Structure 1
Amino acid sequence: MPNPAAREFFDELFQCRAERPAIRAIGIDALLRLVPVAQRDTGQSGVVARFLLGLYNGPAHPFDLTELRSLDAGLFDDCIAVLRLDNSPEQEVHTYVHNGDAIWENLRRNWA
């Protein structure tokens, strides 16, 4: 008889692997909506930009999670989807975006 704790661990692992393609697709779609917002010049743009910079390099760009409270519901949901995408990173967030290095450098210059 298998160890119940081990069985629970492997059940959770298999569930996470099964959910990963959907998390990835939803997260990338959300990221592609957030980047243009971060490139604008509004209060919400600054929050989104600082959130993305925090995922890119948290030690260099710490992000206060309470800032997410100022976002409208759609942007908030997109941030959470991108955070879920980055929870088990397959690659750096900025690499999902065409010309991501240059875009994140501009975000750093404008919002860091």
Structure 2
Amino acid sequence: MTTNHSMPLVTQRLRERNRQALEAMIDAEDAADQARAQLDGKGPDAWQRLAVVAQKESGQSHHCRRILLAVYNSYAWPLDLTRLRVLDRDLQQAALTVIEWSIYASDEPHGYTPGGNELMQRFATIEKEEQ
């Protein structure tokens, strides 16, 4: 019977495929860990950049507040993606970084800033008054 002869080859090929799949999974996890580490490095600065602009009084400030509020509580403050279009390029990049960072951060982004919760409450008050 040829089946007995081919069984070791099939088993060997399956082991090799399993090894390759495991290595691919490990590589993907390593890449994700590196991406998270980069976001942890860039995220707080991007959040701070938006928060500084959000405390001013301009059209860009309004949009920065709404983006930060959406990251803070998207149920109460849904994000209208057209807000990203009206921002300057550096603020767009900061907003996208904060949004991505908020997905992977171990804590809420506003928690990385002293008084961050109070600041977000202040932004919410300003935005409610403007509605």
With structure 1 as the length reference, what TM-score do the two structures score?
Answer: 0.90
Q: Please state how far the C-alpha of 1:95 moved relative to its aligned partner.
A: 0.3
C-alpha deviation, 1:93, in angstroms: 1.3
Distance in 2, matches of 1:3 and 1:67, equals: 46
Q: What are the superposed Cα offsets for residues 85-106 of structure 1, whole Å, 9 maximum, x if unpaired?
A: 1121210111011101110000
Aligned residue in 2 for 1:62: 78
Matches within 5 A, 1:40-59: 40-59=56-75
User: Unpaired runs of 5+ in structure 2?
Assistant: 1-15
Which structure's residues are more often helix, by fraction?
Answer: 2
State how far apart, in whole Å, the 1-side matches of 2:82 and 2:62 are: 13
More RCO (CA 8 Å, sep 6+): 1
SS in 2 for 1:62: coil
Q: TM-score, normalised by structure 2?
A: 0.78
CA distance in 2, matches of 1:5, 1:108: 47
Q: Does 1:32 align with 2:15?
A: no
Higher Rg: 2
Q: Which stretch of structure 1 is more off in the superposition, 27-36 or 4-13?
A: 4-13
